[in-house]
Amino acid sequence: MIARSVHAYGVHVAAPRARSSRRRIAIRQSATLAPSQAKTSERVLSDPTIQPDAKPRKFRLAVREVVLIVLGVLIALSLESVWQDRADRQSERALLAGLREEFVENAESLDRWIELHERIALAAEQFIAHLADVPQGRVTVVPDSIIGELGRTPTYDPELNSLDAALSSGQIALIRSAEIQRGLASWSRLLSDAKEEEQRAADQVYREFLPLLGELTEMGPAISWLVTDVRRVMRGASNGERPTTSSDVVVDRRLENALWVRYRLTSSAANELQILRTGLGELMALLESELD
């Protein structure tokens, strides 16, 4: 009767009857199931949030979470790489600037050392000229400034604090320029060659030239001036006054030979230092180009 009254007003109420029917059918089916299966079936029917495709949906959600985590990690690593690269570039620039400053100072001192070796070679030539045409065993007069110059044993020892620190710490690897890397390696080899030549010249002075010269002349005034002048040079001062006194020197063939050896060795050292100066100039140009 209720159904007929509702139909009279044009209202359709079949849906509630259908839902009730499905529930009664499910209850009858659950009666035939095992108790655990019946409870699960009733929970699925009573919980609207649980759908038949719940497991695939959970799997998709898990995959999506994993993908998001992986993407987050990759982004974090990329950002870390970018920041590390930026820090490396700043460290590289600071290193190059320190090397440039250091090499500018080394270039100035290297020019003075080349000049010293050239002065020694000139003094050797002048000393040989004073011995020319003088019979063996006779005495000739030689200015103390010439004798003093020949007593020098300059050895170039540049400041390499920045370079040594970069090599010991491994920061030298931050320099990306292959040309600068090659330039640094080449300059180090040239420096070693120049030091070797200077050491050969110094050994000849101490082992042969000065002992022989001490037999043949009074070296007191020349050596006194030389000590004062060496101190002045080490302070970076300009050329001081040269002695105006002279000393008697006994002409001896051994002295002439020692003077020629002295000339050749110091000329060779000056030549090696000049090659080193050229390499240093090229390296400084590369550093300037990289920092611009």
Closest CA to 201 of 267, 253, 157, 149: 267
User: At 246, is the secondary structure helix, strand, or coil?
Assistant: strand
> Among 34-43, 143-152, 225-234, which stretch is predicted with the lowest mean pLDDT?
34-43
Say if pTM beats, i.e. exceeds, 0.95: no
Strand partners, 87: none
Amino acid at 117: H
- Structural element, H or E, at residue 242: none
pLDDT tens, residue by residue, 200-247:
999 999 999 989 988 898 877 777 777 776 666 666 665 567 778 888
More confidently predicted of 145 and 267: 267
Q: Which two tokens stand for residue 100?
A: 């440039």
Tell me the pLDDT tens digit for each residue of 5-23: 444 444 444 444 444 555 5
Confidence class for position 199, pLDDT limits 50, 70, 90: very high
Query: What letter represents residue 79's amino acid?
Result: L
Q: What share of the chain is helix, strand, coil (3-state, %, to 5)?
A: 80, 5, 20
